[in-house]
Structure 1
Amino acid sequence: MVYNMDILEKKVNNTNIFMRVSTTPYMHHDFCNFQPLSPEEALEEHLLLDSLAWPDTPSLPDPISLEQTSDPAHSTFTILPRRGGREWHVGDQLEVMINVSDFQGRPKKSGGDVIVARLHNATLGAGVAGQVVDHLNGSYSAVFSLLWEGSAKVEVMLIHPSEAVTVLRRLSIEQPDRIYFKSLFRSGSVSETTTCNVCLKPTQQPLCNYTDLHTGNPWFCYKPEKLSCDTRINHNYGGFKQNIKTSETKLFQSDVNMKVYIQPSGSASVTVCFQNCFTILSFIFLLDQPEMKNNNVNSGPAGYYYQGGWRALRGTTVHQFNTVSDINQCLKGKMVHLYGDSTIRQFFEHFTTALPDLKEFNLHSLRQVGPFMALDYANNILVTYRCHGPPIRFGSVPISELRYIANELDSVIGGSNTVVVLGIWSHFSTFPIEVYIRRLQSIRKAVVRLLDRAPDTLVIIRTANLKALTLYETLTNSDWFSLQCDKVLRAIFKGLNVHLLDAWEMGLAHHLPHSLHPQPPIIKNMIDVILSHICPQRDS
């Protein structure tokens, strides 16, 4: 059994870090049924839930008034001067102090706001994510690694005020079924449709239990009145029940308090000089030293953009695969299996668009759902895609195609010519985080089995990413929910022989707007990361 006992480390590369956390117990759900866990997995789940605790926010009045809530327009950030007053050099760390105030301009006294930050230079096509530390008193620090010579401009964005997080937390506790699903049942001329979900409120209507016998992943439907449970035909997204107070919608306003930039107090930019005795390579070396790992910036960013290309700061060097010949040469003789949601489907679409000889078979699949398969016979390249099992908000998925990633991995032979890319996060955002933890635990066990029988198999796991937010998108798929999933995913797979594709930082550091489905330049950089893992090259 593989599990992580060190998930409570205060080492989070891309999100808020808290000096202390709430001791409020995590939610429990009376109408969510969970399979028993092994003692090891139960302990891991407990530690994970503790690590996800968010700072408590003072109780909100009813109805809510914006006056005492976090206001980006009255908040500011300040670049702290270089120690000793010296000029900035490549390899230095830039620290920014962020002070949050309410709509009346009064400094906040508590933390819990969701804040992200990046450092960039549009002319150079450069950008790097900052690490934000919550001091729980209305002030935050953002720390940046200076990685290029020239101008570097700070951007700080309020994703959500702390008061909005309070509402999102309540929804997770009280309404884990606010996204619901439907299934069609049919036998002969008789058809019925019922509601399905991970969490179904108890009624007089019996349940059909579709919990997967191998993985333990739960799924239930209300039983049809006339038909048996084994007449289920498909799986469909049902809809969304928006049960939020009118006054609470004020906390989720674009251009007011959701995804709004905080303005600087003073200059937002610094000029970075290059210092020959302290190159970027030596900076990367220092990041791995114990004294660097134990300070506020921990191990620093996963990478950064320069001239539009992603440069990793740890692990495999990322190379540009800009021609059909480059990609074909790398993938020659390879089987690439893609499993997950629509953000993984983007990779399949990129490959089939970029490679003219990679021909997609017509499997008569729905374009949103799949499965898909493409083959370049001459170069012996196979690329497949399959969506993950429920919960998934796709259109009509035939029951025969509704499969769990863990079960699919058990059918992969593996080996040095096999590449597996996984991405599963977005469709879990409205459910108790225990659902996501347990799904990843089952996938991890399958990954361990795969690597045990075929250690040369390359496994790459895509993280969550930021997205554009409307009220609907926030209540169903907020960046705060994605942040929780992102922390869990990194902890669950820590220590395994797998590679993380850091979509969170790659989206945050880029100049393009946040999007659930990152735009082509970001996807191209992600593909370069994948290909660099498949075909590592020696640096000249």
Structure 2
Amino acid sequence: MLFMVVWYIGEGKQCKTFSLPSPLNSHHNGKYVSTESTPSESADTGFSPEEWARMLKALDWPTPDQPITDIAMTTCPACSTFSILGQKEKYRVGDELYVHIVAKDHNNTAKRYGGDFFLTKLYSSELKASVVGEVLDHRNGSYSARFLLPWEGEAQVAVRLVHSSEVVQILKKCLNSNSMRRFYYGYFEAPGPNGKRIKETVTCNVKWGQADNSSTGTCIYRDPRTGDEWQCKKPKKLSCDAWVYHRGGGYRNPLTTFEKKLFNGALTNKGIKGDNRILNVLPSNVRIGATEKCKPGMPTPVPAGFYLEDVWTSRVCNIHHFKSADMEKCLKNKLIYMMGDSTTRQWFEFFETIIPSLKRVNIHTDKKLGPLMAIHMKNNIVLNWRAHGLPLSFAKMAVADLHYISNEIDGMAGGRDTIIVFDIFAHVVFHPLTFYAHRVSRIRQSVIALLKRAPETKVIIKSGNTRETKDVIANDWYYMQQNIIMKEAFRDLPVIYMDIFQMTSCHYAKEDVHPAPVIVANAIDIFLSFVCPV
């Protein structure tokens, strides 16, 4: 199924070691040929074989069953169609709606294999209402989408082809490859003659699945606790220990000439034709929103919630919509650690804006790069944010400020009044999925240790979301794969997994790696409802 739920909660056991797949890559006369991935022989990602088997099943995605040698063979958004099944004269709140999707190629011929990446939603522009549809791939070129009708009034269906199955197969090859789609810069500095500093800039990257070549012109940096390794080209004049600053660099496009054609804008992220009549949903006695308090271990239905008048109603638990005074009361005497990328920084900035008495402390760091701190003196609220460790594509910043999430968690005492929020997706997506799994497994180990010494600590994981770009460098399909790894890794632990993907994919706001303020506000309500259940 192509949609994931908005959050996942569970409790359970520790992980061990497993290997993720590496691809077999081949070409046919310069054209793309789909191939299956095979397990990596050397990647130690920190999970057990049993857990890997479970993840492999969750990550499974159909692939083309023939060599793709012409664009005409790929899924055509203008040719594909959808229709509503079992039309009824009257629909009521709580009913389900079923849609049939037929994928066709550019010859207008129905496809006979699956793997297309469709996103679907039911929406009303007038009501500012929307809900995702749950997509089932029948693996024969046809798909089903199931919708809940959660609000009274107008509603209509929209189906979007984000990527054809042929493009998804290319994305799978790239995500499972050890080739890096991004590089970085390292800035080296040291005292020189006459009081002047010697400065050099070199390229750097993740060291993953490559031989140790430090003796042939490379500086290798290994974190002793996580085992993560970073490598930089050795400076000509300075030693490896003169590495002071880091910043994001450029991109490397791994596609062949033919593969690049498949990412043409006319073929990507396009709505398909179908029955877009406006349905009139009548009222009923069915209650859609959940009434139970938010707590660990609750089952998560699909969909997990919906928007109405731009307000998210949860089907998991009772979401309270917090005003500024409510937020202050909820967070009183709380120590909050936020770690991750600029999307968790959005949350930090949201609290700064919405709670006037929460004041940022000048700790002499960049206001965007961090680390950041804000304090509410009267209510004893301490809010922290810092970027996760390498790889990171931020502007130039001190290497000393780049801390791995797991190392930060290892240094926390935790407790009833400690809240930890983290995410890691957008900056890691340029690297192999095996590397991502390794990073996630190390964070998991730290969370397990934290919850053993301080079981009342609240740990909240914020997933990746949809974004504006849909290319081979970064796209929604990659984020879905990361979300699956993260969700599966933490499914047996007493943590809160907030999958924001659903909330961003069905909203009318323009897709952005930094979601619109209205989406952030609703996500904060979910977050606070778990901190202070009502």
TM-score by length of 2: 0.86
SS of match in other structure, 1:426: coil
Maintained 8 Å contact 1:4/1:492: no
Is residue 513 of structure 1 aligned with residue 514 of structure 2?
A: no
Name the amino acid aligned to 2:228.
N
Q: Report the counterpart of residue 55 of structure 1 in structure 2.
A: 62
Question: Which among 219, 238, 261 is matched to residue 249 of structure 2?
Answer: 238
Change over 3 Å in CA distance of 1:148–1:309 after alignment to 2: same
After superposing the two structures, state which structure 1 stretch, 526-535 or 86-95, moved more.
86-95
Question: Which among 492, 495, 500 is matched to residue 497 of structure 2?
Answer: 500
* Partner deviation per Cα, 1:479-519 (whole Å, 9 max, x = no partner): 11111101111111112111122211111221212211001
Aligned-partner Cα distance in 1 for 2:458–2:348: 17
Aligned-partner Cα distance in 1 for 2:391–2:257: 28
Question: Which among 284, 298, 302 is matched to residue 275 of structure 1?
Answer: 284
Q: Report the counterpart of residue 261 of structure 1 in structure 2.
A: 271
Give 1:90 deviation, angstroms: 2.1
Q: Report the counterpart of residue 124 of structure 2 in structure 1.
A: 121
* Partner deviation per Cα, 1:240-270 (whole Å, 9 max, x = no partner): 122423333332233x211111121x34443
Aligned-partner Cα distance in 2 for 1:191–1:506: 46
Give 1:225 deviation, angstroms: 3.9
Give 1:282 deviation, angstroms: 9.0
Question: Which among 3, 14, 27 is matched to residue 2 of structure 1?
Answer: 14
* Partner deviation per Cα, 1:275-320 (whole Å, 9 max, x = no partner): 32x4336999xxxxxxxx9xxxx932111112211111113x1111
Q: How does 1:332-347 map to 2 (within 5 A)?
A: 332-347=332-347
Name the amino acid aligned to 1:486.
N
Aligned-partner Cα distance in 1 for 2:291–2:85: 21
Q: Report the counterpart of residue 30 of structure 2 in structure 1.
A: none
Change over 3 Å in CA distance of 1:26–1:50 after alignment to 2: farther
Maintained 8 Å contact 2:288/2:315: no
Give 1:61 deviation, angstroms: 4.6
Give 1:191 deviation, angstroms: 3.0
SS of match in other structure, 1:70: coil
Name the amino acid aligned to 2:511.
H
Aligned-partner Cα distance in 2 for 1:58–1:87: 42
Question: Which among 52, 77, 80 is matched to residue 75 of structure 1?
Answer: 80
Change over 3 Å in CA distance of 1:272–1:327 after alignment to 2: same
CA RMSD of aligned residues (A): 2.6
SS of match in other structure, 1:529: helix
SS of match in other structure, 1:486: helix
Name the amino acid aligned to 1:527.
I
Q: Report the counterpart of residue 203 of structure 2 in structure 1.
A: 195
Change over 3 Å in CA distance of 1:422–1:195 after alignment to 2: same
SS of match in other structure, 2:136: strand
Is residue 44 of structure 1 aligned with residue 51 of structure 2?
A: yes
Q: Report the counterpart of residue 13 of structure 1 in structure 2.
A: none
Aligned-partner Cα distance in 1 for 2:367–2:76: 42
Q: Report the counterpart of residue 100 of structure 1 in structure 2.
A: 103
* Partner deviation per Cα, 1:430-479 (whole Å, 9 max, x = no partner): 21111111111111111112222222211111111111125xxx222111
Aligned-partner Cα distance in 1 for 2:240–2:331: 44
Change over 3 Å in CA distance of 1:349–1:279 after alignment to 2: closer
Name the amino acid aligned to 1:275.
S
Is residue 306 of structure 1 aligned with residue 308 of structure 2?
A: yes
Q: Report the counterpart of residue 142 of structure 1 in structure 2.
A: 145
Aligned-partner Cα distance in 1 for 2:159–2:106: 18
Change over 3 Å in CA distance of 1:47–1:206 after alignment to 2: farther
After superposing the two structures, state which structure 1 stretch, 417-426 or 169-178, moved more.
169-178
Maintained 8 Å contact 2:45/2:441: no
**Number of residue pairs the alignment of both structures matches:** 492
After superposing the two structures, state which structure 1 stretch, 358-367 or 511-520, moved more.
358-367
Q: Report the counterpart of residue 161 of structure 2 in structure 1.
A: 158
Change over 3 Å in CA distance of 1:282–1:516 after alignment to 2: closer
Maintained 8 Å contact 2:246/2:399: yes
Maintained 8 Å contact 2:161/2:271: yes
Name the amino acid aligned to 1:147.
P
Change over 3 Å in CA distance of 1:329–1:299 after alignment to 2: closer
Aligned-partner Cα distance in 2 for 1:71–1:376: 55
Change over 3 Å in CA distance of 1:129–1:3 after alignment to 2: farther
Q: How does 1:437-516 map to 2 (within 5 A)?
A: 437-469=437-469, 474-516=471-513
* Partner deviation per Cα, 1:180-205 (whole Å, 9 max, x = no partner): 11212222233333322224766673
Q: Report the counterpart of residue 17 of structure 1 in structure 2.
A: none
Q: What are structure 2's unaligned runs of at least 5 residues?
A: 1-12, 18-33, 193-197, 293-298
Maintained 8 Å contact 1:463/1:500: yes
Aligned-partner Cα distance in 1 for 2:388–2:309: 35
Maintained 8 Å contact 1:71/1:101: yes
Change over 3 Å in CA distance of 1:196–1:41 after alignment to 2: farther
Maintained 8 Å contact 1:26/1:53: no
Give 1:27 deviation, angstroms: 6.4
Change over 3 Å in CA distance of 1:41–1:161 after alignment to 2: same
After superposing the two structures, state which structure 1 stretch, 45-54 or 214-223, moved more.
45-54
Name the amino acid aligned to 2:284.
Q
Maintained 8 Å contact 1:462/1:501: yes
SS of match in other structure, 1:521: helix
Maintained 8 Å contact 1:70/1:101: yes
Maintained 8 Å contact 2:45/2:434: no
Q: Report the counterpart of residue 195 of structure 2 in structure 1.
A: none
Change over 3 Å in CA distance of 1:210–1:59 after alignment to 2: farther
Name the amino acid aligned to 2:244.
I
SS of match in other structure, 1:158: strand
Is residue 24 of structure 1 aligned with residue 69 of structure 2?
A: no
SS of match in other structure, 2:232: strand
* Partner deviation per Cα, 1:197-248 (whole Å, 9 max, x = no partner): 2247666734333222112223222333443322211222121122423333
Give 1:43 deviation, angstroms: 4.2
Aligned-partner Cα distance in 2 for 1:225–1:43: 47
Name the amino acid aligned to 2:518.
P
Name the amino acid aligned to 1:2.
Q
* Partner deviation per Cα, 1:399-454 (whole Å, 9 max, x = no partner): 21110001111222222221111111111212111111111111111111222222
Is residue 408 of structure 1 aligned with residue 408 of structure 2?
A: yes
Name the amino acid aligned to 2:86.
P
SS of match in other structure, 2:435: helix
SS of match in other structure, 2:364: coil
Aligned-partner Cα distance in 2 for 1:172–1:145: 33
Aligned-partner Cα distance in 2 for 1:439–1:37: 8
Maintained 8 Å contact 1:26/1:49: no
* Partner deviation per Cα, 1:357-411 (whole Å, 9 max, x = no partner): 1111122322332100011112211111000001111112212111000111122
